[in-house]
Amino acid sequence: MSDDYPFNDPRVLAEERPGDNAQAMSVSELSSALKRTVEDRFGHVRVRGEISGFKRAASGHIYFSLKDENARLDAVMWKGSAARLPFAPEDGLEVIATGKLTTYAGRSNYQIVVETLEVAGEGAMMLLFEKLKARLAAEGLFDLARKKAMPSLPRVIGVVTSPTGAVIRDILHRLADRFPSHVIVWPVLVQGEGAAVQIAKAVNGFSAMPANGPTPRPDLVIVARGGGSIEDLWAFNEEAVVRAVADCTIPIISAVGHETDTTLCDFAADLRAPTPTAAAEIAVPVRSELLERLGQITLRMSGAVRRHVDRAAERLEGQRRLMPKLGDLAAPHQQRTDELAERLRQSLRTRAGKAELAFSVPAQMLHPRLLVRRIEQGQQRLDALSRLQGSLHPEAPLKRGFARVTDASGKTIMSRDAAVAASEVGLRFADGEVAALVHGGTPTPRTAPAKAAKPAPNQGNLFDG
C-alpha cells in the first residue's frame, strides 16, 4: 500500500497536506450539516408505529417513541400541537404521526417532530376506547349509584349541541309537539379540533348555573349529536367530556349518534337515548295525554269521594236508628234540674230568714244618732290634738318673745358650751334671723330696774262732805 495513503500515516501530529480535500470538521459543523441534510430530505413524513415510553412534561410538551417489530424512532410533540390532540395518547396505541425528521446533537441521534397524531384505524381507536372505558369504570364514573332520576316535567331544558345542525331542529320540533318547554341551547362544535373542550365547558357551565340567577337553571340537560363514524364521535369519548357528564349536578341525557353508536358519554350520563329525537321524547310527556290522564284521575277521585260520602251517610243513618231519642235521654236530667231548682229556692228563703234575724241586733246599734255622737267625739279629740300640735311646734315659742340659737349649719344649739364653741351663731326670731358673736366671759349681773312708786290712792278729804 502506498505511503501516501492517509490512514497508514504513522505520524502523531496532524497537519494539512497539499491536495487533501478532506478538511477536518468540528463536531458542531458536522452535526449542523447532518441536521440540514435530514430536514431537507425528510421535511414531511408520515410514520406508523406503536407508542412507547409516553411522557408529558410540565411544560406541556410530550415525548415518546414510535416502534414496530424491527426499529424504534424517538418523537417529540410541542405544547401547541399537543394541546390540539383529539384523544389522550398512551403506551401500546398504534398511531400515524405526521411531521418532519430532525437531529438532536446532544445525543447524536435523530427524531421526528410530530405536528399531528392520528389513531391508526378503527381497530386502534376501539382499543383506546376500551382502555379508557376500563380505567374510568374502575374509578366508579359509570356506577348506577351515581345516576340521577329524570324530572317528570322539566320546566327548563338545556341542550349541548351544534346550533346549526339538524339535531337541534329535531329536538325543538319534538318538544313543541309533545310539551312546549323553555329550551336553552349551549352551542358547541360536535367534532374536530376543540370540540371536546367546548362540550366539557358547556356541561360544566350548565352544572354551575345558580338556581336564582338571571338565566333560569335547567332541570334537565341533553348532550346531543347526529350519527357518524367512531372518529366523528370521538369528542364524546374524550376524558374531559366524560368527567364533565359524570359530575354534572343536573340530570343529563346522552343522545349521541344513532341507536347502534356507543360513546363513553353514554355510560357516564344518567340516561342514554338512542337518538336526539328519542331524548326529547324521554324528556317530556305528551301534553294532551297528560291532560287526559289528569282528567281521568279527577273523575276517579271525584267518584271515590262521592262513594266514600255515601257510605259514611249510610253508616251514620244506621247509627242514628240505634241511638235513643234525645227527649228520652234528656227527660231524667230535666226532672233532676227542676228538683234542684226548687230546693235552691227553698234554701235561699231559709238562709235569708236566718240572716235577717242575725243582723237585727247589730242594726239597732247602727242608729244614726249613735253615729253622730261618735263623729262629734272624734271631732273634739281631733281639735284637742290640733291645739297640742300648735303648742309643741318649735316655732311657737318664737311668737312669745323667745329666740332659737343655731350654729353655722343651722343645727340648734342646746347648751352654753356649744354656743361658746361655735363662736358665731344665728338668732332666729319670729320675724327673721340675725348673726351674733359669742364671748366666753362671765356675764355681768343685771340690776333689776327700780320699781316706780305707785301713787297713793286718792283717798279724798275726810272732812269734805
Asked which of 1-10, 28-37, 236-245 is least confident by mean pLDDT, the reply is 1-10
pLDDT band at residue 383, thresholds of 50, 70 and 90? confident
Q: What is the chain's mean pLDDT, rounded?
A: 84
Q: Sorting pLDDT into bands at 50, 70 and 90, what band is 301?
A: very high
User: What number of residues does the chain have?
Assistant: 465
Picking from 46, 66, 47, 64, the residue whose alpha carbon sits closest to that of residue 55 is: 64
Q: What is the reported pLDDT for 156?
A: 96
- Which residues is 114 bridged to in the sheet? 99
pLDDT of 282 > 60? The answer is yes
Residue 280, C-alpha cell as written in the block: 326529547
Name the more confident of 188 and 408.
188
Quick: pLDDT tens for 330-374: 888 888 888 888 888 888 888 888 888 888 777 776 667 777 777
Percentage with pLDDT > 70 across the chain: 88
Confidence tier at 216 by pLDDT (50, 70, 90): very high
pLDDT of residue 378: 85
225 backbone dihedrals φ, ψ, rounded to 5°:
-165, 150
pLDDT band with cut points at 50, 70 and 90 for residue 39: confident
Mean pLDDT value across residues 273-300: 89
Q: Which residue has the cell 418532519?
A: 100
Q: Is pLDDT at 464 greater than 50 in this prediction?
A: no
- What pLDDT shows up at residue 6? 53
**Neighbouring residues of 230: CB distance < 8 A, sequence distance ≥ 6:** 122, 125, 126, 129
Whether pLDDT at 123 is above 70: yes
Q: Give the Cα separation of 236 and 242 in Å (integer).
A: 7
Longest dimension (CA), the chain: 226
- In order of their start, the domains of the chain are 27-119 (2.40.50.140), 143-288 (3.40.50.10550), 397-436 (no CATH)
Say what the pLDDT of residue 463 is: 40
Nearest partner of 76 among 112, 38, 116, judged by Cα: 112
Tens digits of per-residue pLDDT, 41-77?
Answer: 888 899 988 888 999 999 999 999 998 888 889 999 9
Kindly indicate the confidence band of residue 236, based on its pLDDT and cuts at 50, 70 and 90: very high
CB-count exposure of residue 349 (10 Å: 0-12, 13-18, 19+): exposed
Cα 419 from Cα 444, distance rounded (Å): 18
Whether the pTM exceeds 0.75: the reply is no
Assess whether pLDDT exceeds 50 at residue 462.
no
More confident residue, 125 or 44: 44
